[in-house]
A and B are shown apart, each in its own frame.
Chain A
Amino acid sequence: MTTTVAAAAKPRLGGVPGYDERSAFLLVAPLAVVLMAVAVFPIVYSFYISLFTIKLTRPGRTPFVGLDNYITVLSDPQFWYAVERTAFFAVLCVSAIAVLALLMALLLNEEFPGRRVLSALLLVPWAIPYVANALMWKWIYDSNYGALNGLLYQLDFINSYMVWLGDSDKTLALIANAFVWKEVPLATILLLVGLKTIPADLHAAAKVDGANAVSRFFHVTLPSLKSSFGLVVVYETMMAIRHFDLFFILTEGGPGDASHVVAWRIYVETFRNLSFGTGAAMAYLLALATLALAYVIIRALARKI
């Protein structure tokens, strides 16, 4: 035993270069333990919980119900309503992020004095906590004293102060705006990387061929950005469908159920109705949807490695 360990510990210059399983194992072990304990185990445990009726209001009685929780969730029209709200929110957010981030990345890709300052300041929304972001927008949207009302009033767009977050037609769009403001910087940085990898020759060649700026944008820039765009769209979709913080602080799912998204529903089911079984089932469905999206992202990334 000791001899094999000693032999394995020696650098094996003869065999496969750098092949050293024992060291690798020791170095990776702490990470493996952490991830097993706090990522793999919970996700398995979560599935296990979802097979039981666990209500904290009735401790001690946790009957096994199989896939009943999933059937309950999937046949609940409220759940599908939440799915529809989430999808609407995600589409709003992702399309706005894609357009804004592209415009910002195109600007930062130009050389001009002050570009460095702009790209540094771009990190400010990215860095601040979502809670601060939420409170900031809650104050801006405030129906009595908010800046949005004040600005629109001063510019004569409205004659009197309006209700914003409390209007169920506007709620999701306004929450989406707060989300977009915070997420655009990361998307811009990712697209900027894509822009920088476009060879300058490509633009020069198109120019020689007589292509103007607009057609160069559509025939050179956009096609080369395809993979960066894919990354941004998939990543931001994942972030949007799981988002919770803004809903908690801005609307608590309201008004009525106008912003009743899946993440909010999971929270209510679990921590207000204290029904852990169905909450876990819903959370598991959300995780599966995200993993399906992640599969797309991982395959896209794997092609680059």
Chain B
Amino acid sequence: MTAITASPLVEVRHYRTRSRLRRAGRGLFLAVASLLFLGYVLAPIVWLVSSSFQSEHEIISKPPHWIPQAPTAQNFAAIFAARDSSVTYETRKARDPASGGFIPSTASNLLPAMLNSFIVACAVVVLNLLVGVPAAYAMAKIHFRGRQASIYAILATRVIPDIALVVPFFLFIRNLGLLDNIWSLIITYLAVTVPFSVFVLVSYFESVPDELDKAARVDGCSRLQTLTRVYLPLARPSLVAVILFAFLASWNEFLLALMFTQTPASQTLPIVVASFTSDFTISFSFINAAGVLAIIPPVILALVFERYIVSGLTAGAVKG
């Protein structure tokens, strides 16, 4: 009898130490894994930011200074000052000790390009909502002939590679006389982004019960009123996701902008930043500062709206 009661007690104590050990081991393992994860994801970005605060003189030290020893904001100052003075071979040599005089000749285009990027991205967002929301509502809530087919068609347009559209787009835009005009970017970005927007919105509208739709209709709402008064307030998370995706895609797009823009009148941020590398003297300190400016808006948006982005991505990718 005693032997029988004693053995579970020993067992329990044994089990407790084992589980405590296991928990400590699990904690250690997760901590190491998290550090590796963080290192992989953040190290390149941290290095970019660190080198953007180093002078051209410091940046070429061997081995590199992982943390700037004499941090300077001169690279950023050079970007904001680039507009005031024209860059010639002589001024490049004489000016700006921080970058060793290697300011790229296209430096003054950077801030106008940022503005262009911002205008294009906002216009694409607005058009995405105007075109995408009604269509998504119809596809999710109204039965009509060809409904399934239209969903498949949108899926199909989502997967056409942009490089395959470049030649016809170019001729199309040239014939419209829109080369080197930001409208060429707004139109083509709309085509590239709207399928995904519709996709995300359809999957959201489908999750809203049909009864809501019927109730609003019985109460005398028109289709448009049902959409604006019942669905839009409910759909706020997916609208935020759509706005973010359209904005980020436009802000980041490179290939089409490379084809359609030629002058600062329409060049977007990625184009101008990329042009710094084709300059005959590459100034990495300056390029890194420009790179930091280019990633600040998307990184802030991603971190602030993380929940919306993740739910939008999973809705858009996993469910029809």
Contact = CB atoms under 8 A, between A and B. Distances in A.
Interface in B267-289: 269-270, 273-274, 276-277, 284, 287-288
A125 interface: yes
Interface residues of A, number: 106
A49 B167 contact: yes
B161 A286 contact: yes
B318 A128 contact: no
B188 A132 contact: no
Given A128-B252, A130-B254, A244-B255, A31 B314 contact: no
Interface stretch (A21-29, A87-95, A165-173, A199-207): A21-29
A107 interface: yes
Interface in A117-148: 118-132, 134-140, 142, 144-147
A198 interface: no
A163 interface: no
A175 interface: no
B188 A38 contact: yes
B251 interface: yes
Contacts of B141: 18
Main secondary structure of the interface of B (DSSP, over half): helix
Contacts of B270: 129-132
Interface in A258-290: 263, 266-267, 270-271, 276, 279-280, 283-284, 286-287, 290
A303 to B, nearest CB: 10
B47 interface: yes
Contacts of B51: 139
Interface stretch (B75-83, B84-92, B95-103, B209-217): B209-217
Contacts of A280: 167-168
A21 B223 CA distance: 12
A135 B287 contact: yes
Contact of A235 (B164, B223, B309, B317): B317
B164 A43 contact: yes
Interface of A: 11, 13, 16-21, 23-28, 30-32, 34-35, 37-43, 45-46, 49, 100, 103-104, 107, 110, 112, 114, 118-132, 134-140, 142, 144-147, 150-151, 153-154, 161, 181, 185-186, 189-190, 193, 228, 231, 235, 238, 241-242, 244-245, 248-249, 263, 266-267, 270-271, 276, 279-280, 283-284, 286-287, 290-291, 293-294, 297-298, 301-302, 304-305
28 contacts: A30-B131, A31-B131, A35-B157, A39-B165, A100-B40, A104-B37, A107-B37, A112-B27, A118-B38, A120-B306, A121-B42, A124-B299, A125-B41, A129-B251, A134-B274, A190-B317, A190-B318, A231-B317, A245-B255, A266-B163, A270-B166, A270-B170, A283-B164, A294-B155, A294-B156, A298-B156, A301-B320, A304-B319
The 7 closest A-B pairs by CB, nearest first: A38-B191, A127-B302, A42-B168, A31-B135, A129-B252, A242-B161, A287-B164
